[in-house]
């Protein structure tokens, strides 16, 4: 990880930052690709990507009018991924457990605040952006020299792979930091991600996803009973999110080899380990069935898992069980 007198490197390591970059470019370089993708309805059913916020993504100054520069950070969830690979099933995406079980939006906002408070520059103002804001985060990280767009559309960092969440500080001043060169494509002829996707959601030529075919979309973003995308029965039975395209990516091998897979979960979220890895899926389904939606979401509040609600979780669990029954 690079160093700068402006940033506290020890603090960044403590907060799980794998790498960071700096850019003064406000306009996304991949904007035409994003607009073509949404105009072709490849984003559906994620309607929020094409609503009134779409225009805000065209320029960071529309989100933060005082914008002069950005510090972009890659926050690791490699430890959770290694633990899942070494110890458990692949039934949940690793990011869900990568921040001590806490919703990464909440966890990373706190970490960005700590970073901003450590920067001692007079008159500096900050705007926190994690993926809830109308910002093309992967493009922002690309402009900051932190990687390239993989064929699965993920940002891939040459040293750290792709098991990270991007979070940034938009600033009202330019900093005495040299901008890094843009990274070039390092995927070459590899199509491992697209070949491994059981629902054929990845277009390796355009480096985009068809969201309606994506297992993560189905298990996280669809909150009611729905038919699984074609090919789901050939998956690993994911019940929340999906890491298949990342798990087969050659650029994730070396980073994971360096990691000791120790999973840290906040005491208030310790029940997640029991629910997800100790209870049989039938027991979890029966438990959720007897909960009201309000009570269920209250139990999961503060974690990533409350998003689909009771009906969404029952849909996911039933789909997994049926998929296993249909396996030859």
Rounded to the nearest 5°, which phi and psi values hold at 218? -65, -40
Q: Which pLDDT belongs to residue 90?
A: 56
Contact 98, 80 (CB under 8 A): yes
Tell me how far apart the alpha carbons of residues 37 and 51 are, in angstroms, rounded to a whole number: 14
- Count of beta carbons in the 10 Å neighbourhood of residue 314: 18
Contact 208, 42 (CB under 8 A): yes
pLDDT exceeds 70 at position 168: yes
Tell me how far apart the alpha carbons of residues 85 and 140 are, in angstroms, rounded to a whole number: 30
Nearest alpha carbon to residue 16 among 153, 163, 209: 163
CA geometry: angle 276, 281, 283, nearest 5 deg = 100
Q: Cite the beta strand spans of the chain per DSSP E.
A: 17-23, 69-76, 126-129, 148-149, 155-156, 164-171, 202-203, 208-209
Stretch 12-27: mean pLDDT, rounded? 97
Q: Which pLDDT belongs to residue 326?
A: 42
Stretch 121-128: mean pLDDT, rounded? 93
- What is the band of 323 on the pLDDT scale with cuts at 50, 70, 90? very low
What's the pLDDT tens digit per position in 26-36? 999 999 999 99
Among the listed ranges 1-15, 57-71, 100-114, 187-201, which one has the minimum average pLDDT value? 1-15
Q: What is the pTM of this model?
A: 0.94
Q: If you average pLDDT over every residue of the chain, what do you get? A: 93
Contact 193, 152 (CB under 8 A): yes
Q: Which pLDDT belongs to residue 88?
A: 66
Q: What percent of the chain has pLDDT over 90?
A: 84
- Measured CA to CA in angstroms, residue 39 lies from 30, 32, 47, 144, 274 at distances of 14, 10, 12, 27, 43
Q: Which pLDDT belongs to residue 319?
A: 81
- What is the band of 328 on the pLDDT scale with cuts at 50, 70, 90? very low
Catalytic residue among 51, 103, 131, 233: 131
> How far from chain centre, in Å, is Cα 87?
22
The domain locations on the chain are: 9-76+103-171, 192-326
- What is the band of 321 on the pLDDT scale with cuts at 50, 70, 90? very low
- What is the band of 281 on the pLDDT scale with cuts at 50, 70, 90? confident
Stretch 148-163: mean pLDDT, rounded? 98
Among the listed ranges 33-42, 244-253, 277-286, which one has the minimum average pLDDT value? 277-286
Strand (E) or helix (H) holding 318: helix 309-326
pLDDT exceeds 60 at position 322: no
What is the number of helices (H) and of strands (E) in the chain? 14, 8
pLDDT exceeds 90 at position 237: no
pLDDT exceeds 90 at position 122: no
Q: Which pLDDT belongs to residue 260?
A: 84
Q: Which pLDDT belongs to residue 320?
A: 55
Secondary structure (3-state) at 212: helix
59 is catalytic: no
pLDDT exceeds 60 at position 173: yes
Name the residue with tokens 């470019």: 25
Stretch 70-81: mean pLDDT, rounded? 97
61 by Cβ neighbours in 10 Å (0-12 / 13-18 / 19+) ranks as middle
Stretch 88-110: mean pLDDT, rounded? 91
Tell me how far apart the alpha carbons of residues 143 and 22 are, in angstroms, rounded to a whole number: 8
pLDDT exceeds 60 at position 192: yes
Secondary structure of 98-164 as H, E, C letters: CCCCCCHHHHHHHHHHHHHHHCCCCCCCEEEECCCCCCCHHHHHHHCCCCEECCCCCEEECCCECCE
**Hey, what are 16's tokens?**
């799980």
């Amino acid at each position: 990880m690079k160093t700068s007198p402006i940033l506290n490197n020890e603090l960044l390591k403590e907060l799980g930052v794998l790498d960071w970059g700096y850019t003064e470019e406000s306009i996304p370089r991949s904007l035409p690709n994003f607009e073509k993708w949404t105009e072709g309805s490849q984003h559906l059913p994620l309607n929020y990507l094409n609503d009134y916020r779409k225009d805000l993504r065209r320029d960071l100054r529309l989100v933060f009018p005082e914008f002069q520069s950005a510090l972009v950070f890659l926050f690791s969830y490699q430890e959770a991924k290694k633990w899942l690979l070494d110890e458990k099933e692949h039934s949940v995406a690793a990011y869900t457990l990568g921040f001590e079980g806490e919703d990464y939006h909440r966890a990373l906002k706190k970490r960005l605040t700590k970073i901003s408070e450590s920067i001692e520059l007079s008159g500096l103002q900050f705007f926190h952006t994690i993926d809830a804001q109308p910002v093309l985060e992967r493009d922002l990280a690309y402009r900051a020299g932190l990687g390239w767009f993989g064929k699965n559309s993920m940002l891939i960092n040459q040293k750290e792979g792709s098991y990270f969440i991007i979070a940034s500080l938009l600033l009202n001043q330019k900093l005495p930091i040299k901008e890094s060169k843009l990274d070039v494509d390092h995927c070459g002829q590899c199509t491992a991600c697209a070949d491994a996707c059981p629902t054929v959601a990845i277009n390796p030529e355009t480096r985009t996803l068809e969201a309606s075919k994506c297992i993560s979309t189905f298990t996280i973003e669809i909150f009611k009973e729905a038919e699984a995308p074609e090919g789901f029965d050939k998956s690993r039975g994911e019940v929340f999110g999906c890491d298949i395209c990342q798990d087969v990516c050659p650029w994730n091998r070396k980073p994971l080899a360096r990691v000791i897979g120790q999973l840290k979960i906040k005491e208030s979220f310790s029940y997640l380990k029991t629910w997800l890895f100790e209870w049989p899926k039938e027991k979890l389904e029966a438990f959720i069935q007897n909960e009201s939606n309000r009570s269920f979401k209250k139990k999961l509040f503060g974690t990533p898992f409350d998003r689909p609600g009771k009906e969404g979780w029952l849909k996911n669990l039933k789909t997994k069980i049926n998929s296993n029954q249909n396996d030859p």
